[in-house]
Amino acid sequence: MDALDPNRELFDRFAALKRDRRLRFALCTNNVREWEPLWRAKLPIDDVFELVVDSAFVGTRKPEPEIYALTLERLELPAAACVFIDDLDVNVEAAREAGMQGIVYREMAQAITELEALL
């Protein structure tokens, strides 16, 4: 965990979109239960995300369809109203199959440009 550096630029951009455009953000993550206090302490999770769906606590993980359905259910949003960003093609493809727009994160400028185009 000590070697992981948060992408502050991305978190700042998400926070600005939340504040300025009133966008809602949720985090759907594959994780290990014991690591939760470690990664949460390093990231501004509660400042940006209104919802965290963590595989370690919900019994399903990306790219299983159930985790996307659970996230949408908890957000009370239709899939078509959501954009899913992930660095793994397989996870983005599963989100698309669930009806969301999808962006494969390769680098910051590309992901933000694609997100802005979808908004």
3 falls in which pLDDT band (50, 70, 90)?
A: confident
- At residue 2, does pLDDT exceed 80? no
CB crowding 20-56: b at 16 or more within 10 Å, else e: eeeeebbbbbbbeeeebeebeeebebeebbeebbbbe
5 falls in which pLDDT band (50, 70, 90)?
A: confident
Model confidence, pTM? 0.93
Can you tell me which residue has the tokens 């985790």?
67
- At residue 58, does pLDDT exceed 80? yes
